Amino acid sequence: MILQDQVAVVTGGSRGIGRAIALMLAKEGASVVINYTSSDDKAKEVQNEIEALGSRAMIYKADVSNEKSVEEFSKAVKKEFGKIDILVNNAGITRDGLVMRMKEEDFMSVIEINLKGTFLCSKYFGKLMMKERKGKIVNISSVVGVMGNAGQANYAASKAGIIGLTKSLAKEFASRKININAIAPGFIETEMTKKLSEEVKENYSKAIPLGYYGKPEDVANLVVFLSSSSSNYITGQVIHVDGGMVM
Residues that bind ligand NAP (CB under 6 A): 11-12, 14-18, 35-39, 42, 63-65, 90-93, 113, 140, 142, 185, 187-188, 190-193
Give the Cα separation of 52 and 62 in Å (integer): 24
Which is closer to ligand NAP, CB of 209 or CB of 229?
209
Among the options 60, 124, 155, 213, which is catalytic?
Answer: 155
Least distance CB 78 / ligand NAP (angstroms): 19
Give the Cα separation of 60 and 103 in Å (integer): 31
Which is closer to ligand NAP, CB of 23 or CB of 113?
113
Least distance CB 29 / ligand NAP (angstroms): 23
Which is closer to ligand NAP, CB of 130 or CB of 238?
238
Half-sphere exposure of 129 (CA within 13 A, CB side): 28
Give the Cα separation of 114 and 52 in Å (integer): 31
Which is closer to ligand NAP, CB of 94 or CB of 231?
94
Give the amino acid at 67: E
- Active-site residue 155, yes or no? yes
Least distance CB 93 / ligand NAP (angstroms): 5
Give the amino acid at 178: I
What's the full length of the chain, in residues? 247
User: What value, to the nearest 5°, has the Cα angle with vertex 46 and ends 41 and 51?
Assistant: 125
**CA dihedral angle for residue 160, residue 20, residue 246, residue 101, rounded to 10 degrees:** -50
Least distance CB 146 / ligand NAP (angstroms): 11
Pairing type for strands 31-36 and 57-61 reads parallel
Q: Active-site residues: which are they?
A: 155
